[in-house]
Structure formats: C-alpha cells, structure tokens
Amino acid sequence: MFSNLSRRKKRILSASVFIALISILAASFIWQKQDTAKYIPGDEVEGRTARLDRKVPEDVPQIRFENVTAQKGIEFKHFYKERGSRITEDMGSGVAWIDFNNDGYEDLFVVNFAGPTDMGHEAFNNSPATPVLYQNNGDGSFTDVTEQAGLKIPVYGIGTAWADYDNDGYIDCLITTYGQNRLFHNNGNGTFTEVTAEAGLAEKEGFWSGAAWADYNSDGFVDLYIGGYIIYFEIPDDEEIRNLQEPPSINPSVFEPASNLLYKNNGDGTFSEVSKEAGVANLEGKSLAVAWVDLTNNNLPDLYIANDVTDNMLYQNLGDGTFINISYQAKVADYRGSMGVAIGDWNGDQDHDLFVTHWVAEENAFYSNMVNTRGTLEFRDEADRFGMGQLSTDYVGWATSFVDINNDGREDLFVVNGHTMQKTENSQDMIPMEDRIFWNRNNEDGFYDISELAGAYFKEEWVGRGGAYGDYNNDGQQDLFIVNHDAPAVLLENQTQTANQWLQLKLEGTESNKSAIGTKIRLTVDDEVQIRQVGMQPSYLSQNTLIQQFGLGRACQADTLFIRWPSGEEQVFTNVKANQRLHIQEGDSALRNLN
C-alpha cells in the first residue's frame, strides 16, 4: 500500500513517523529520568508522596489511649528464645476478648508461639511461651488463671476463635497452630477439657492461620472455618542467605498454598470436614484472615478470605450447603499480600464495607460496598479517596477492625503494623513499625490518621501482629489489646474525653446458636442508622468482643432497635435509653441489665 502513495505523500508519512519516534524517545528519556527517583518507604518524592497529604482538621476529637498493661496485672511476652528466620515463626499470634465465666466482664485469651520450630521436643515442652487466659476481676485488673483452667500448654500457636459450639451456655476455645489445631470445651466451672480428637479436628496437621465461627447451614449450631496458609518445608540453612533482609525461608512466594477447612457441626459435639463438597477449600489461596458476614443480604453468612500473594476470595452462601466464588464479579479478588480484614458500615448506608491490610508499598484496600442496582454485589477500592491508601505504603499491616472509638455513631479504624523483613544488622529481629488510629470524620472526608494525638504508644515501634477490641472495664469505651512478636503484649485503655452516649448489647440465642453469632442488629437514632452482625467483625488471628456497642452521639436514647436472629426470629424495641449494658435473649421481650 505504501508503494502506491505519491512521492509527496511518502515524504509526509516518513516525516510523521520520524517525529513520532522522536516523541516516543523523548518521553521515554523523561520517564526514565523521573524513575531514577525511586520510591523508598519513608522517603518523600516530589509529585508522589505529597499528592494526597491530609491535614488533621481542627474539629478532631480528643481520642486517647493509655498503656495500662503492667498496672492491670498483665505480663505477657510473645515467643521464646531466638527467632530462626522461618516464616512459620514470623506470622505472629492472636488474642480474643471473651467472657468465659459469664460474670459480665470481658476476659482475655492471648495465643503464644513456643519458640523456634527447631527447638527440640524437650525445649518445646518446657517453653514458658504458652497461651495465657486472663480472668477479669471486675475491678479493672486481671489474674492469670491459665494453669487452673487447663490451658497452659506448649503450642506453636497462631490464631484463636471462641464460640459456644455445643450450646451449653459457656463459650469454648479453638487455637490454630503450626501443627495440629486444638479445641477446648468450657466445662462451666472455670476449667477446660481438650476435645480435639473426640470432636474430629485432630486428623489435620499443617500451617493454620485465621479461624471463624458461623452457622452457615442454619441448623442452630455454629460451624467452623479455618484458613490454611502454606505447605512449609525446611530450606537448607546457609548463613549468607539467612542474613538477607528477606531470605527465601520467610518469603511466602516460595511455598505452595495449603487447603482451608470447613467443619460442619453435627450437633452432637462432633464435626465433619466438608470444605471440598461445599466449594470453599480455597486450594489456590494462602489464607491468613477469614471472615463470615452476610454481604449478599440473603440472611446467610458468606465467606471472605484474605490470601497472601494470591487472589482474595469471596464465597456466596447458596443456602443448600454449598458456596460459589463471586470474588471477581464483586471486584474483591485482590492479588496483594493480604493479612488482616475489617468489616463494618463506615458510612451508615446499611451495607458492609471491607478494609484489607497489605504488605509494604502495596497500599491497604478500602472496599466501599456500591449496592449495585443490577442486583449483584460490587465493591470499589476507595482507599486514596478517603485517606486510607497512600500513607499505608510505608507499613506492613496486620490486625485491623472498624470500631467506634469516641461513640459519635461513626466507626473508626485501628491498624496494627510490623515488618516481615529482618534487620540487616541482626537477622534475628524483624523491623518494627508504629500502629495507627484513624478517625472517621464524615462520608465526604473519610478518615484521618490521628495516631500522633492518640497517645504515647502510637509513637513507639513494634513488630505488631494480632489485635482486638473490647470494653474490659465496662465504661462504655472500647479498649485495645495488641500482640507484638517476640515482645510484650499491650493493653491500651480508651481514655477518650467525650460527652457522647452509648449502648451495649449481649445477645443470647435460644432457637439460634447460643452465642448469637450471625445475628443482625439495626439501630436508629433520629435519621441515622447503624448496623452490626454478631461475630462478623474479624481482625488478624484474633477475635473482638461479641458484645455489640453502638455510639449514640448526644442522643439520650435509641429510637428503634431491630434484631434479626439466624433462626429468622425478629424483635423490635423502641426508646431504649442510652448508657446501658443490656442482655437480650431470643424471643424474650424483656431488656435485662448486664451485670
């Protein structure tokens, strides 16, 4: 075709091609010159790191947390001996806020990791780094009751999840491990009995991570989902390789993914593993955090899984014992290094949004639920738009949860951070980081990082991993507990000065599971609506309190309180006074004070 052109047109075409090539080369040169200023976490690069800066506004509330760990009787140290540059030792451990003795005060269970996984049988059995159960004394202090409770056992402990799986009125304990998962039955007298083998959970050994309970088949008994991380194998020790910042032995991309587990509760104290039949084995994912929540609004819990360096998964519950993968159509199949998950309705539009923590330079994801008008579930990552994206590139995020810190009726957010890379000067230590507190201002502005104002702890650096919230002193403000790798754990008391009101609810199922997990709550104050779903607020390897708290702002009461139980039972209460801790039983019209 070119040969048929006139000489003049050939010259014009040739000149045009030459100019285009020069333009491409010039653009390439400029791009390469700009790219020489590569982004390094913590550094400022003109045109990159300052573009989305957000100054804290003047109306920021006086949110403050105080480290009260020692004075409250808590002396927990994570890990024992020296870390050995293995990914099995680095993922950390979790924590749970639970009321194991039904006295109305939140107790603490903290998971521990016995030590380096080559420590030998005798050293493992004698390790002081065991899980710890702290009983809340009701006066603001805690007592270590681990040994008398029967939980002082050496484990390579990872995560924990609690629920009353046999509906006897006492909450039971699951520990996930590098090894065999452990299930302990609460005897109701302050002691626990291990029932792992009898319950049918002993046949699987592996590298297990997050776990969560939910009644996925609506039979009145909670079922259990456990994440499998990787199929680990020992890499031959080489000092030169071991002393790299990220040797192969701590890189998840080196290892194949492990299958996840779904244990269907048989209603007789035993479980059957049905992950493959149900379609939720997640064979391609390296799972770290798992969460049950009804995202599709069919009154059945769906399943969201945060996978490390593999696509995240969202499985829709079909109601017939099976699930389908809707991750891609919902736009949450996030191929990044995902660790923790927070679920909440941050903007009060009555649907659940997702926040996912990631590895350094990957940005945390903030998935707003778009309530697709075509009837399909769809999310959009709006992290940068609402102040949650760019600043997270300097951090490796782990535990996270939406929680209303100052009781203004809007869910704020905390994020626990800590690197996976080793220090070059000492490969036995990982690089520490600061944890963050984000204040939710409004639907237009989103969130502001107020960590510098939230207390001295948030100016310190730790290798954070697990974390959860609960109101340990029953003052109507949510406190935080954070597990730091190879370091002391920390209890942060919420000392925020506010005149805002609140309401706390402990729900108890009768036809539904006793723990009321999966129960939906909708609270209305004037024209504002808040929603919660019991047990559907995950974190990383951890469990937040099952008591549901609502900030009421300056309102003296909740206008309406609507509860929908997993059984389908519905209850409505009106004009519920503020600043109460209430116990609500399924099918009972009475509102009883807790404590």
pLDDT confidence of residue 26: 38
Q: Is 482 helix (H, G, I), strand (E, B) or coil?
A: strand
DSSP state of 56: P
Residue type, 378: E
pLDDT band (50, 70, 90) for residue 241 = confident
- Of residues 408, 363, 406, the one with CA closest to residue 388: 363
pLDDT confidence of residue 425: 85
The long-range contacts involving 322-325, CB below 8 angstroms and separated by at least 24 positions, are 322/277, 322/278, 322/279, 323/278, 323/279, 323/280, 324/279, 325/279
Which whole-number Å values give the CA distances from 307 to 192, 246, 287, in the listed order? 32, 20, 4
Q: Is 57 helix (H, G, I), strand (E, B) or coil?
A: coil
Largest CA distance in the chain: 99
The predicted model gives 285-299 an average pLDDT of 96
pLDDT per position as a tens digit, 471-514? 999 999 999 999 999 999 999 999 999 999 999 999 999 999 99
Percent of all residues in the chain with a pLDDT value above 70, rounded to a whole number: 90
pLDDT per position as a tens digit, 22-49? 343 334 433 343 343 444 455 554 444 4
Helix (H) or strand (E) holding 278: helix 275-278
- Cβ neighbours of residue 97 closer than 8 Å, sequence gap 6 or more: 106, 107, 108, 468, 469, 470, 472, 481, 543, 544, 545
For residue 225, pLDDT beyond 70: yes
Q: Which residues of 282-301 are buried (b: 16+ CB within 10 A; e: fewer)?
A: beebbbbbbbbbbbbeeebb
Least reliable range by pLDDT among 22-31, 214-223, 255-264, 543-552: 22-31
For strand 501-508 and strand 580-585, is the pairing parallel, antiparallel, or unpaired? parallel
For residue 41, how many other CB atoms are within 10 A of its CB? 13
pLDDT per position as a tens digit, 408-458? 999 999 999 999 999 988 889 999 999 999 999 999 999 999 999 999 999
DSSP state of 138: S
Contact 65, 495 (CB under 8 A): yes
For residue 360, pLDDT beyond 70: yes
pLDDT confidence of residue 511: 98
pLDDT per position as a tens digit, 144-178? 999 999 999 999 999 999 999 999 999 999 999 99
Name the average pLDDT for the chain.
91
The predicted model gives 539-543 an average pLDDT of 98
pLDDT confidence of residue 373: 59
pLDDT confidence of residue 514: 98
Q: Is 451 helix (H, G, I), strand (E, B) or coil?
A: helix
pLDDT confidence of residue 32: 40
pLDDT confidence of residue 54: 81
Q: Which residues of 468-488 are buried (b: 16+ CB within 10 A; e: fewer)?
A: bbbbbbbebbbbbbbbbbbbb
Strand-pair partners of 522: 531, 562
| 175 token code pair | 């520990």
For residue 277, how many other CB atoms are within 10 A of its CB? 13
For residue 378, pLDDT beyond 50: yes
DSSP state of 26: H
- Phi-psi category of residue 358: left, alpha or beta, with phi > 0 → left and psi -120 to 50 → alpha: beta
> Which single residue is written with the structure tokens 């006793």?
514
Contact 512, 518 (CB under 8 A): yes
pLDDT per position as a tens digit, 85-142? 999 999 999 999 999 999 999 999 999 999 999 999 999 999 999 999 999 999 999 9
Residue type, 130: T
Contact 74, 134 (CB under 8 A): yes
pLDDT confidence of residue 344: 97
The predicted model gives 230-250 an average pLDDT of 85
CA distance 363 to 381: 11
DSSP state of 236: P
pLDDT per position as a tens digit, 63-98? 999 999 999 999 999 999 999 999 999 999 999 999
The predicted model gives 177-199 an average pLDDT of 98
For residue 414, how many other CB atoms are within 10 A of its CB? 27
- Phi-psi category of residue 220: left, alpha or beta, with phi > 0 → left and psi -120 to 50 → alpha: left
User: What is the spatial order of strands in the sheet that 397-403 belongs to?
Assistant: 397-403, 412-417, 436-442, 446-449
CA distance 292 to 302: 6
pLDDT band (50, 70, 90) for residue 52 = low
Contact 225, 292 (CB under 8 A): yes
pLDDT confidence of residue 372: 63
The predicted model gives 281-308 an average pLDDT of 97
Contact 502, 437 (CB under 8 A): no
Helix (H) or strand (E) holding 192: strand 192-194
Strand-pair partners of 159: 176
Helix (H) or strand (E) holding 66: strand 65-67
- Cβ neighbours of residue 523 closer than 8 Å, sequence gap 6 or more: 503, 529, 530, 531, 532, 550, 558, 560, 561, 562
Contact 463, 484 (CB under 8 A): yes
Which ranges in 91-230 belong to alpha helices (H)?
121-125, 146-149, 196-199
Which whole-number Å values give the CA distances from 268 to 165, 188, 189, 220, 414, in the listed order? 10, 18, 21, 12, 39
Residue type, 13: L
Which ranges in 56-178 belong to alpha helices (H)?
87-90, 121-125, 146-149
* Termini Cα distance of the chain: 89
